[in-house]
Amino acid sequence: MFYLIGLGLGDATDITVKGLRALERCSRVYLEAYTSVLTVGKEALEEFYGRELIVADRELVEQQADRILEDARETDVAFLVVGDPFGATTHSDLILRAVQAGVPYKVVHNASIINAVGVCGLQQPLYTFGETVSLVFWTDTWRPESFYDKICKNREAGLHTLCLLDIKVKEQSEENMMRGRKIYEPPRFMTVAQAADQLMQIVQRRRGEGEELGLTEDTLCVGVARLGADNQAIRVATLQQLVSCDLGGPLHSLMVTGQLHPLEVDMLQLSAETSLLQSLQVLDGSTYWS
């Protein structure tokens, strides 16, 4: 059997009972380590699970998936994923490969960022949120802005936007990649401040071009970090204010609000910047800034 097991969002103890029992039966256990990370490292997971973990990087999962599925017809093999197993399309590909190879599989679900963001006070992430977007690290030659347009489209419909922020784990520089050198860059995790800064740059550029803006520096946003952990952080502030915020270690996510319900406003005020408490008003179901 090939098991695809979700680990949840916090630490080693977030695994479900079903997932832990399946893991304990497996002869090999892989830990996917490039689409997301927990707040604890591999060693803490191994100590709690009582099993050695094989770190599965992007190259192994996307180019050598047959190694993961090897022997799964005769023995149990587990593949551990932070959050829920289907938070990334890569994991759907593993299932398709297992089916093609005649390997039976089971999926053990867990909490993911998609539903956990409701803790900030924005209601029903599956109903009041529009399309989820991903913000990537810009480079000197690549500065995509498609996520901005999707956020604006969501806001036009009155919907909130969950922005998933880029992580770079075991990445090569362009030079090392071209030269075939297996030298990897230090891990990088985009922060809420970095994401807000990129959005601010887009706002300023498009304003300069005379474009009608779908969000501005005064748009109400929510920054979150390490959801599910004991030290999770939530910050409600304007986009401009989030540029200078420090929410600590990874992982971070950013939400851009759409139309707010009065109950959402009450919840958001629990984590709002002090300067916002008197500014946030709800009139006819919409949020205005005084």
160 is in an annotated binding site: no
Q: Say if CB 6 and CB 23 are below 8 A apart.
A: no
Q: Token digits for 94?
A: 């593993």
For the beta carbon of residue 142, count every other beta carbon within 10 angstroms.
Answer: 8
Residue listed under structure tokens 């629990």: 270
Residue 57 is labelled as binding a ligand: no
Tell me the C-alpha distance between 169 and 37, whole Å.
10
The residues, any chain, with a CB within 8 Å of residue 208's CB and separated by 6 or more, are: none
Q: Is 165 annotated as a binding residue?
A: yes
Please give the Cα distance from 154 to 148 (Å, whole number): 10
Q: 69: closest CA among 103, 24, 32, 20?
A: 103
| 261 Cβ neighbours under 8 A, 6+ residues apart | 123, 128, 285
Instruction: Please name the residue ranges forming H helices in the chain.
Output: 17-24, 42-49, 58-63, 65-69, 89-100, 113-116, 125-128, 146-156, 174-178, 192-208, 239-242, 262-268
Q: Under DSSP, is residue 220 helix (H, G, I), strand (E, B) or coil? A: strand
| Residue 162 assigned as binding residue | no
Q: Is 186 helix (H, G, I), strand (E, B) or coil?
A: coil
Residue 215 annotated as binding site = no
Tell whether residue 9 is among the known ligand binding residues.
yes
95 is in an annotated binding site: no
Is 252 annotated in a binding site? The answer is yes
Pairing status of strand 28-32 against strand 77-81: parallel
Which residues are documented as binding site for S-adenosyl-L-methionine?
9, 84, 87, 112-113, 165, 227, 252
Which residues are documented as binding site?
9, 84, 87, 112-113, 165, 227, 252
